[in-house]
Amino acid sequence: MTDDLSIQIAKRRVPCILAYLSPFRIVELDTLPPWQVTIEEVNALCWDYVKLHEIVGGIDVALDAPYHLVVTRDGALALPPIQSLQVDHATVEFFNRCLAGFLIGGVYCEAISPDSLDLGSVLDWKYVRSHRTGHATPNRFHEQIRLGKASPLEAIMLMDAPTVKFSDLATAMATGLSVLNQIGRLRGDLLLKGVTGIARRDWSAGLSNLWIVIEQIVSHIWDS
């Protein structure tokens, strides 16, 4: 392989770290045709899985330029493997802060954990592909639908799938991060974990995390 070819390939393939919106949603963009899958396509395992990899846009999450959060059609969220995000717990905390931003801004999301991380690549700034899949259930689901290998029982989720507009995600993030930035002591990841615990009837996780969140808010009010 020549040096020139290696450089060209490197420019077309940028490494990234992935997590997924949970619950599952298709992200719609006004300039793209609406997502549609028929029962025949589900039964024949022949939906257009390439479209699931398609990038719909990038969202400002206060990373240094030129980095941002890349979003794909199937709800994959991609971050650059910069130095501050090369340790799993730091990456999970940052993703959960972003997801908390969505939550505060009005788009319901649940927390991720270290087994929710994939490693992948941004291809030609058009698609995002995963190369190493996390062990969490959403990661396995996305792996199967992205490869066109999900069973009909799983793939039925692609029919009449819940959707969210990319513009709504961007607006929600801006709103959510503005709140988190104003309350410096408030840990967005703890808020998200608390809400997720309540949603999953994990009462101990919900109580412990939300108790800390309340103390952080009270501390902020006390000092204001």
What span, in angstroms and rounded, lies between the C-alpha atoms of 24 and 145?
Answer: 12
Q: How confident is the model at residue 10 (pLDDT cuts 50, 70, 90)?
A: low
**What is residue 13's predicted lDDT score, i.e. its pLDDT?**
87
- End-to-end Cα spacing for the chain: 61
Residues 6+ apart with CB under 8 A from 78: 16, 17, 18, 69, 70, 71, 72, 120, 122, 128
Q: Is the Cβ–Cβ distance between 12 and 129 less than 8 Å?
A: no
**What is residue 122's predicted lDDT score, i.e. its pLDDT?**
95
| Residue 184, token pair as written in the block | 């410096």
Give the closest residue to 96 by CA, choosing from 125, 69, 74: 69
| Cα four-point dihedral sign 164, 194, 81, 183 | positive
What integer is the mean pLDDT of 80-97? 94
Residue 16 pLDDT greater than 60, yes or no: yes
Residue 9 pLDDT greater than 70, yes or no: no
Q: What's the chain's average pLDDT?
A: 93
Name the helix (H) or strand (E) containing 222. Answer: helix 203-223
Give the closest residue to 128 by CA, choosing from 75, 61, 62, 169: 75
How crowded is residue 203: how many other Cβ atoms within 10 Å of its Cβ? 10
Q: What CA–CA distances, in Å, run from 94 to 35, 43, 54, 157, 173?
A: 29, 38, 23, 28, 13
Percent of the chain with pLDDT over 70: 96
Per-residue pLDDT reduced to its tens digit, 173-198: 999 999 999 998 899 999 999 999 99
**What is residue 199's predicted lDDT score, i.e. its pLDDT?**
94
What integer is the mean pLDDT of 112-136? 94
Residue 1 pLDDT greater than 60, yes or no: no
| Cα four-point dihedral sign 205, 206, 211, 216 | positive
**What is residue 2's predicted lDDT score, i.e. its pLDDT?**
62
Q: How confident is the model at residue 223 (pLDDT cuts 50, 70, 90)?
A: confident
Q: How does strand 76-79 pair with strand 69-72?
A: antiparallel
How crowded is residue 27: how many other Cβ atoms within 10 Å of its Cβ? 24
What integer is the mean pLDDT of 133-162? 94
**What is residue 224's predicted lDDT score, i.e. its pLDDT?**
73
